Amino acid sequence: MTAKLASAKSLIDAANPLDPATLADLPPRERILIASRELFYQQGIHPVGVEAIAEAALTNKMTLYRHFKSKDELIVAHCTQLAAEGDAVWDRINADNPNDPEKRLTAWVNHVEDVVTNRFERGCALANAAVELQPHHPARVVIETYKARKRDQLVKLFRAAHYKKPEMTADEVFLLFEGARISIQCGGKQMALRVVKMLRDLLANAPRKTPVEKR
């Protein structure tokens, strides 16, 4: 058990989502999506068969195909679910820090710290899916619009915080985060951890229109 327990309030539940007790009372479609998220993330999309997903979801292949016309459609639903969860994290950051771009930014960095330290040993599930899926796969547009939305949200936040170059700063922050998550899988766990300090330095030192009072 390397992860510190209760290190910081996390924005994502960490209980084993494949625990039978956790799944028991959920409808089949939700169980299938939970199982997909777990298996796809751990093993990738192509190596995981629909039968394995059905078993992990405590059901069978026929029920799976009653809810999803094909594996490709399941993949789209899976990516849509991941995007919705990412949006929910962002919404919660905003709701917890109403009308305060400054605190929202630091809350987002804290979330990044949580992500690269305690969770997601295989990086960003949506980026991984984009790597595995051909450019014409219908799930790709879900991923691309999600990533574009994340970047735009960061731009607006930096603009609200009166940074001089909100687009530029958002792009830097965005790319550093993406780079850190892909590097986790390329052995750069230590480097991925250093991204948190980089982000905090960047937020503190990037030029602003009006200087911010020290806290």
Of the residues 31, 113, 147, 166, which one makes contact with a second copy according to CB under 8 A: 147
* Inter-CA distances, 169 with 41, 90, 94, 148, 212, Å: 30, 18, 19, 15, 16
Question: Helices (DSSP H) in the chain: which residue ranges?
Answer: 20-23, 28-43, 50-56, 61-67, 71-96, 101-118, 125-132, 138-160, 166-184, 189-205
Please give the Cα distance from 155 to 137 (Å, whole number). 28
Please give the Cα distance from 201 to 178 (Å, whole number). 17
Angle at 129 between CA 125 and CA 132, to 5 degrees: 140
Q: Note whether 62 binds DNA by CB under 7 A.
A: yes
Single-letter amino acid, residue 9: K
Binding flags for a second copy, 180-199, as an x/- string (CB under 8 A): x-xx-xxxx--x--xx-xx-
Restricted to residues 63-102, the positions that interact with DNA (CB under 7 A) are 63, 65-67, 69-72
Of the residues 143, 154, 196, 203, which one makes contact with a second copy according to CB under 8 A: 143
- b or e along 141-178 (b: 16 or more beta carbons within 10 Å of the residue's beta carbon)? ebbeebbeebbebbbebbbebebeebeebbebbbebbb
Of the residues 59, 128, 153, 169, which one makes contact with DNA according to CB under 7 A: 59
Please give the Cα distance from 187 to 101 (Å, whole number). 34
Give the number of residues in contact with DNA, rule: CB under 7 A: 21
Q: Note whether 145 binds a second copy by CB under 8 A.
A: yes
User: In angstroms, what is the minimal distance from the CB of 110 to DNA?
Assistant: 38
**Among a second copy, DNA, none, partner that 27 touches (CB below 5 to 8 angstroms by kind):** DNA
Q: Note whether 137 binds a second copy by CB under 8 A.
A: no
Q: Note whether 52 binds DNA by CB under 7 A.
A: yes
Q: Note whether 2 binds a second copy by CB under 8 A.
A: no
Can you give the binding site for DNA, defined by CB under 7 A?
Answer: 27-29, 48-52, 58-63, 65-67, 69-72
Can you give the binding site for a second copy, defined by CB under 8 A?
Answer: 43-44, 46-47, 122-123, 126-128, 130-132, 134, 140, 143-145, 147-148, 151, 168, 171-172, 174-180, 182-183, 185-188, 191, 194-195, 197-198
